[in-house]
Amino acid sequence: MKNRFLSQHKLCEPIKVKAMRYILAIDQGTSSSRCLVYDQQAKPVAMAQQAFSQHFPQPGWVEHDAEEIWASQSAVVRQAMQQAQLQPADIAGIGITNQRETTVIWERSTGKPIYNAIVWQDRRTADDCLRLKQAGAEAMVKAKTGLLLDAYFSATKISWLLDHVEGARAKAERGELAFGTIDSWLVCKLTNGELHITDVSNASRTLLFNIDTMQWDDELLALFNIPASLLPVVKSSSEIYGQTRNPEIGAGMPIAAIAGDQQAGLFGQLCINAGMAKCTYGTGSFLMMNTGAKRVASNHGLLTTIAWQIGDQIHYALEGGVFVGGAVIQWLRDGLGLFEHAADSEQLAGSVADNGGVYFVPALTGLGAPHWDPHARGAIFGITRGTTSAHLTRAALESICFQVDDVLQMFTAESGTPIAQLRIDGGAAVNNRLAQFQADISAVEVVRPTNLETTALGAAYLAGIAVGLWTIDELKQNWQVDRSFHENMPPLEVESLKRYWLKAVERTKNWAE
């Protein structure tokens, strides 16, 4: 009976005429606010971008005006919707991705920030971190959060605000203030103050979130002297949290995803299984490896972080950053004037058969993962009378890959999982020579997708999943490769290149004492 009913029901079902629905990705970055609109096939159909002011009130301090961040973000949302000729009712969901760790505190009653946002780059609390380290707190902090005790993360920025803005601590004790990373701030504005939330990926960058229990941690809150009343509710990275209520952008759009920028990038590259890794080749190089449900601790200065949570499934990741990546090409261009455009580096490097024995260690601002030496400085080794600007350029491009390889080796060593494929994006990922050299020395398949806007794409993917617009399997089919690079270099040559590279790295260390 039941079966007959079902088959009859199917026959009678009217053909659904479904209007095209769209996903809005809000990509709030360190230097600009962007908004991208994606159609039902996850294809971008509109994009708007607006830069905002950077404030440097003292050496080492970096601030943003949180109201200006919102003004620029809401402007680009309006522009992108106008470009695509969409109304709020056409939007199936909004995905948010954001600069991480940047800290805002606002009054709950008015929604007004009590001070500028303190940006992730800001070093004002470096001495506070040092004091806590000297008091022996780092092991506990690292065990609970997967992070290092560093000014980069939010906790000491929150304490600084409570201690330096008049009346802030008393107000916080009375529960009158709210803390948020930029995602929380945007959701507050989008919902006219209705929601005070963040997602696990952003929470995991605050130094206050225990990544095993998935809770704010009392011991950490006590260490940094932060009242729990400040904190947002922590949600998964892909669910409908609520609806927009702000008339500046339109009401009734479901807010359906939140993820920090690097994590969203990892998802946008569909590195959704353990062992998959991505590298963003921008000014610096940012690597992340999905370690699945397993939290991998690092003994070599990599960070352990939450990649995302979908439903009750949590993915962890290892993260490593290289300070100077594409910036070394910028330096050859602007500092030495070797060529006019960054893209010219590819042809110039290709005009010689090899690096001619030249190795360039671009420790221009010290060395990041996995060498960690703030006192290292840049150096070029192996110069002879035959060295030309082409060799120098080739060595510079190779240095980007050597540094990435050092992090990849560490990922493999610490996770025990070999990386078979590296998915790449960022401004320098268009350089074929760079991509090929990476494949050669790292013995991995290097894959460049057609859509290099992976951060916004990741936020859109997560939002589309939450609202049922697509499944992960459908996204896999949709995701397109522009080009794959396979290793094609004799092992002896690889071994020799890496030996010289590591020798060069050692000689740059501890230079600026």
Residues that bind ligand ADP (CB under 6 A): 282-283, 326-327, 329-330, 342-343, 345-346, 426-428, 430-431
Here the tokens at position 46 are 């509109």
Least distance in Å: CB of 463 to ligand ADP? Answer: 22
**Nearest distance, CB of residue 396 and ligand ADP, angstroms:** 9
What's the rounded Cα separation, in Å, for the pair 183 and 70? 11
Q: Coil, helix or strand for 275? A: coil
Taking CA 207 as the corner, what is the angle to CA 198 and CA 370, rounded to the nearest 5 degrees? 115
SS3 2: helix
Pick between residue 26 and residue 328 the one whose CB is nearest to ligand ADP: 328
Least spacing, CB of residue 7 vs ligand ADP, in Å: 54
Helices (H), 224-343: 261-268, 327-330
- The encoded tokens of residue 204 equal 């995991």
Residues 276, 264: Cα–Cα separation, whole Å: 14
Residue 443, both tokens:
């013995």
Residue 49 or 283 with smaller CB distance to ligand ADP: 283
* Residue 437 vs residues 448, 476, 486, 487: alpha-carbon distances, Å: 14, 27, 9, 8
CB of 426 to ligand ADP, least distance (A): 4
Parallel, antiparallel or unpaired: strands 254-260 and 91-98: parallel
Question: At closest approach, how far in Å is the CB of 374 from ligand ADP?
Answer: 20
Cα separation, 327 vs 331, whole angstroms: 6
Closer residue to ligand ADP (CB): 340 or 473: 340
By beta-carbon proximity to ligand ADP, the closer residue of 285 and 415 is 285
Rg, Å, the chain Cα set: 24
Backbone angles phi, psi at 413, to 5 degrees: -65, -45
**Residue nearer to ligand ADP on the CB measure, 357 or 427:** 427
The 3-class secondary structure across 84-118, one letter per residue, is CCCCHHHEEEEEEEECCCCEEEEECCCCCECCCEE
Least distance from ligand ADP to the Cβ atom of residue 440, Å: 17
Residue nearest to ligand ADP (CB): 427
In the complex with ligand ADP, which residue's Cβ is closer, 122 or 414? 122
Rounded to the nearest 10°, the torsion over CA 73, 75, 77, 79 is -150
Min CB(219)–ligand ADP separation in Å: 36
User: Whole-angstrom Cα distance, residue 40 to residue 63?
Assistant: 37
DSSP letter, residue 296: P
Nearer to ligand ADP, 320 or 326 (CB): 326
CB of 282 to ligand ADP, least distance (A): 3
Neighbouring C-alpha atoms within 13 Å toward the C-beta of 201 = 37
Residue among 178, 182, 196 nearest 33 (CA): 182
Between CA 65 and CA 185 the distance in angstroms is: 12
Output the smallest distance, CB 168 to ligand ADP, in A. Answer: 33
C-beta closer to ligand ADP: residue 275 or 426: 426
Instruction: Identify the CA nearest to 233 among candidates 187, 199, 193.
Output: 199
Q: How far is the CB of 47 from ligand ADP (least distance, A)?
A: 15
Dist. CA 204–CA 184, nearest whole Å: 14
Neighbouring CB atoms inside 10 A of 486's CB total 11
Q: Which is nearer to ligand ADP, 20 or 336 (CB)?
A: 336
Q: Given the complex with ligand ADP, which of 91 and 428 has the nearer CB atom?
A: 428
Query: In the complex with ligand ADP, which residue's Cβ is closer, 187 or 397?
Result: 397
Q: Do 278 and 270 touch, CB atoms closer than 8 A?
A: no
User: Shortest approach of ligand ADP to residue 294 CB, angstroms?
Assistant: 30
Q: Report the residue number, 321 or 326, with the smaller CB distance to ligand ADP.
A: 326
Q: Which candidate, 164, 155, 159, places its Cα nearest to that of 115?
A: 164
Min dist CB 178 to ligand ADP, Å, is 30
